[in-house]
A and B are shown apart, each in its own frame.
Chain A
Amino acid sequence: MVDHLKFTPSTLKDWMRSWREIMKERPWAADRVGNSFTESQLIGKMWIAEELKKIGGTKHVALLGGWFAHFTCSLLFEEVGVSTVTNFEIDHDAHFISFKFNRRYKEEKKYRSIRRNVMTIGLSGVETFEKVKTTEPQWDVVINTSCEHMFPMRKFRELNPQLKDCLYVLHSTDDDQYDDHINCVGSPQELADQANITDIKFMGEKVLPNGMRRFMVIGR
């Protein structure tokens, strides 16, 4: 069971340093980083780790819109045992700040962030961690915990036929009170349908401490 985050001295070092650097270099982002450090955020990400651990076999993760990716990376590396995480982010601040929070993984060449709108440009041709340009699939799992912020995932799958065999892990919500929740769904089944996922390994919902109902679908 994944019910905690492994908080090591190196985690502490990276995260404290990140906060200091954010306040100094990108103070406007501090509020949003604060919003990412909530009980609900952590519980949502632990849920993914728990289910991925049960399924097993996750090695190379493409993280779509992974934001600052602090909890997610820590859980994926330390609990699930993944080998690499590539975060695709459109937001400049999130892109750079995610490197700060994950400095220890970045230095081990296990974490990177790439700025890209994944709904208009496919991932084929992205360089490997070894800087080799390839059209071969580099990932076995695609995680998107921000589906409510994006166009339905069917578009991503259309753009990336090379990732058709990947395991998809998707989060969304029916909470449409926020302007940037442009793609809420009413159920986990609707989330699966949006992504054309038919081989479902997990499907469920959870009400987080902030009152938001989250849906999760894992499948192909």
Chain B
Amino acid sequence: MLNILCVRWGDKYDHTYVDKLLKQVKNNCSVPFKFYCLTDNPQTDYDIPLPNIWDKHYIPERNAFWAYRKCYMFNEMHFPQIGGDNFLYLDLDILIHQDLKYFNDLPYGKPYIVRGWWNDIENCRKNFGKIKSTPLNSSVIKWNRGELLRVYNDIEKNAEVIFFTYPTIDNYFNHAWYNPWKEDEGYLRGYPKGDIYSWYKGNVFPDDMDAWKLRKDHKICLFNNSANGGDEHMYDIAELDHLW
């Protein structure tokens, strides 16, 4: 059984995003699954209340921390109602092209995260010390029960420093759990090229960088634009009208 999780809090995305994600999952998952939404506003059967124990570290003037809420799911003990060992997390703003069974079949033993192949890795290395240009994206994460508990514990132990230092979790993951110099050696590993691409940033640097282009031979398209200050919703993208 594959546990498919999403997280929704605040008002950036309304509940229709969750409904649409569930619909996509039903249409694109050939293995048995259970779907859950971890949320600060439970409304439906699949909603589970999101903890708020880290809220005390929120720094309003920095507007940091918000994305760390998804890291609660790394400690499965917060969610005793979720059984099974296999987990796949999906952001709400994604488009699923192909069967999610693919992700279930990837070997466990080390968590997977999106390696944004659209990034120039030399630029990521160059800017490592500046805490920007991370090659990682946390829109799709796959793990086995307990594998991400060490990440959760690190955040729990060092919350004050981590939330202050890393406004985005992807930069934290890059510093603490990945190695952009030896990409096979980090605790997190990236999905292979050709699996996941970005609507706004392209696919693979430097050869396939066209933005605003659907690639249906890939598994998932991300609509990640928050790092650029973008606020376009998937509802606003005409190309998605018949697909989402």
Contacts and interface: CB of A to CB of B under 8 A. Distances in A.
Nearest to B125: A28
Interface in A30-49: 31-32
A3 B10 CA distance: 56
B128 A93 contact: yes
A135 B62 CA distance: 36
B62 to A, nearest CB: 8
B26 interface: no
A150 interface: yes
Interface core residue of B125, B154, B180 (most chain A CB under 10 Å): B125
Given A28-B125, A119-B161, A90 B132 contact: no
A182 B165 contact: yes
14 contacts: A27-B122, A28-B122, A28-B126, A32-B126, A32-B129, A91-B129, A93-B181, A119-B165, A120-B154, A150-B165, A151-B161, A179-B130, A179-B132, A180-B131
A2 B45 CA distance: 71
A117 B175 contact: yes
A180 B125 CA distance: 15
Given A150-B165, A151-B165, A182-B165, A31 B175 contact: no
What 5 pairs across the A-B complex have the smallest Cβ distances? A28-B122, A91-B129, A180-B130, A28-B126, A120-B158
A164 interface: no
Interface string B146-185: 0000000010011011101100000000011001110000
Contacts of B122: 27-28
A6 interface: no
A93 B175 contact: no
B126 A31 contact: yes
Give the secondary structure class of B's interface. Answer: helix
Contacts of A179: 130-132
Interface string A154-173: 01000000000000000000
B129 A182 contact: no
Given A26-B125, A151-B164, A180-B129, 5 more contacts: A29-B125, A92-B125, A120-B154, A120-B158, A182-B164
A76 interface: no
A92 B160 contact: no
Contacts of A151: 160-161, 164-165
Contacts of B27: none
A192 interface: no
A197 interface: no
A4 to B, nearest CB: 28
Contacts of A90: 128-129, 175
Nearest to A29: B126
Interface string B130-148: 1110000000000000000
Interface in A121-140: none
B123 interface: yes
B152 to A, nearest CB: 15
A92 B164 contact: no
A64 to B, nearest CB: 13
Contacts of B132: 179-180
Contacts of A31: 126
A160 to B, nearest CB: 14
A91 B165 CA distance: 15
Interface string A73-115: 0000000000000000011111000000000000000000000
Contacts of B129: 32, 67, 90-91, 93-94, 149, 180
A44 to B, nearest CB: 17
Interface core residue of B122, B125, B128, B129 (most chain A CB under 10 Å): B129
Interface in A179-202: 179-180, 182-183
A31 B175 CA distance: 21
Contact of A91 (B128, B176, B179): B128
Contacts of B165: 119, 150-151, 182
B164 A93 contact: no
A92 B128 CA distance: 8
A188 B122 CA distance: 36
Interface in B73-124: 122-123
A93 B125 contact: yes
